[in-house]
Amino acid sequence: MERRSENHVSGLEEQIRQIETEIRETPYNKATQLHIGRLKAKLARLKEKRETKGSRKGTGYAPKKSGDATCVLVGYPSVGKSTLLNALTNAKSPVGAYDFTTLSVIPGSMVHKGARIQVLDVPGLIGGAAAGKGRGKEIISVVRSADLILILVDVFSEWQVEVIKRELYDAGIRINERPPNVAITKKPRGGVSIKRGRRATEIDEATIVAILHDFKIHNADVIIKDDATIDRLVDALMPSRRYIPAITVVNKIDQLSSPNGFGDIDISAEHKVNVERLKDMIFEKLEFIRVYLKPPGKAADTENPLILRQNSTIEEVCNLMHKQLSSRFRYAHVWGPSARHAGQRVGLDHVLLDNDTVSLVASRK
């Protein structure tokens, strides 16, 4: 049975390689668009099958999520992930100058600007990880559940950035992308109806219909608001796609006279150079805001802010405080950046900003 499973996975890999080669060798133009669309749709479904067939379930590989968000350190072995984890958090991850020092997921907790962020150190991710090489499937399963990815490389290994990004892409993880602005509503009959914005001209209708048919969708209303590519349309049809923000961190800058400048931030985890700046970037990339609560007639609690995401409203504050508070809500007073004047009276739909202070007024029951 195990041999049959291995042969099945091997067969999938061969099909994937053949389709990737055909896509690569086929020039993209109006005449080939439909053919390439079908190939990319089939490729996406095969890679999805590879993920489900080749993964080991129930291994308990990832620790339970905790805090306001989870950040995972992704990189090749020996780039300094364990050292960075120890610099960011209170964790004591083993550090060694040899490959695969980290053999399991090691969690740490980083507290910054009132936010409690879980940071996970995973084994090194290498080329071929999406296909299962080097415990790749287990590692990627942890990455898929994260709220932020730190892609860590050292100053001598710029080439690793593209390899890691490609492996994450092949595993259905889209970094620093928003989901496609495409709505697909299935219906019992009537064929495929397509509506799109004036700028959505990248794909012709025949290609859109062919891709939907490849996903066994023959009757649907399709609305494309952005100028979606074939890849983005396929992504819209794949519910397993994950859209996760990422920061590329270049470590060991103390070993160079001048930084290379190919990442989002240069650090030395060992000497804690720019580590505080990295913490700020993590907070900003997670789109956190801090909101301080002020009980009526009392001073605001400036030591323990609520941690919310950008564009959060008063209603979300109520939901965090108590599930039934929204139904008893009367109004709120707001001080800070989002208020037109100090103590502005607002409703549930008021959008908050970082460093706002809020006083809630609710009816008694």
148-195 pLDDT, tens digit each: 999 999 999 999 999 999 999 999 999 999 999 999 999 999 999 999
At 60, the pLDDT band (50, 70, 90 cuts) reads very low
Residue 58 above 50 pLDDT?
no
Inside any domain, residue 63: no
Average pLDDT of 196-206? 85
Residue 64 placed within a domain: no
Q: Which of 253, 285, 317 is the last residue of a domain?
A: 285
137: domain CATH number is 3.40.50.300
pLDDT in tens, 342-351: 999 999 999 9
**Residue 120 covered by a domain:** yes
H runs (alpha helix) in the chain:
2-25, 33-54, 81-88, 136-144, 159-170, 205-214, 230-236, 275-285, 314-321, 325-328
Q: Which residue has the higher pLDDT, 339 or 362?
A: 339
Say whether both 29 and 47 belong to one domain.
yes
For 102, counting Cβ atoms within 10 Å of its Cβ (0-12 exposed, 13-18 middle, 19+ buried), the class is buried
Query: Does residue 120 sit in the same domain as residue 153?
Result: yes
- Average pLDDT for residues 5-9, to the nearest whole number? 52
Give the phi and the psi of residue 351 in degrees, each rounded to 5.
Answer: -85, 130
**CATH code for position 345:** 3.10.20.30
> Which pairing describes strands 106-112 and 356-362: parallel, antiparallel, or unpaired?
unpaired
Both 162 and 95 in a single domain? yes
**Which is it for strands 182-186 and 220-224: parallel, antiparallel or unpaired?**
antiparallel
Residue type for position 57 = K
pLDDT at 353: 97
Phi, psi of 27 (to 5 degrees): -65, 140
Residue 105 and residue 32 in one domain: no
Structure letter (DSSP) for residue 268: B
Tell me what pLDDT residue 12 has. Answer: 83
Tell me the whole-structure pTM to 2 decimals: 0.86
- The pLDDT assigned to 90 comes to 75
Using DSSP bridges, classify how beta strands 265-266 and 246-251 pair: parallel, antiparallel or unpaired: parallel
- Structural domain contains residue 61: no
Q: Are residues 275 and 298 in the same domain?
A: no
Tell me how far apart the alpha carbons of residues 275 and 254 are, in angstroms, rounded to a whole number.
13
Counted domains in the chain: 3
Between 356 and 201, name the one with better pLDDT.
356
In a domain, 343, yes or no: yes
Residue 356: name the closest of 331, 344, 339 by CA: 339
pLDDT the model gives residue 7: 52
Q: What is the mean pLDDT of the chain?
A: 87
The number of beta carbons lying within 10 Å of the beta carbon of residue 238 is 14
Residues 6 and 39 in one domain: yes
Residues 356 and 208 in one domain: no
pLDDT over threshold 50, residue 139: yes
The verdict on 97 and 20 lying in the same domain is: no
Query: Residue 59's pLDDT is what?
Result: 47
For residues 146 and 148, what is the distance between their CA atoms, to the nearest angstrom?
6
Q: Which of 222, 252, 285 is the last residue of a domain?
A: 285
Q: Do 156 and 246 fall into the same domain?
A: yes
Confidence of residue 94 (pLDDT cuts 50, 70, 90): low
Query: Within a domain: residue 317?
Result: yes
Whole domain around residue 22: which residue ranges?
2-54+180-236
Section 82-108 average pLDDT: 74
Residue 116 within a domain: yes
139 plus 218 within the same structural domain: no
Calculate the alpha carbon distances from 295 to 210, 256, 290, 298, 320 in Å.
Answer: 59, 53, 16, 5, 15
Same domain, 128 and 271: yes
Residues 95 and 143 in one domain: yes
Give pLDDT, residue 9: 57
pLDDT in tens, 11-44: 888 899 999 999 999 999 989 999 999 999 999 9
Return d(Cα 108, Cα 83) in angstroms, integer. Answer: 12
Q: What is the pLDDT of residue 96?
A: 55
**Of 285, 315, 347, the domain-final residue:** 285
User: Residue 1's pLDDT is what?
Assistant: 46
Residue 145 lies in a domain: yes
CB 336 within 8 A of CB 357: yes
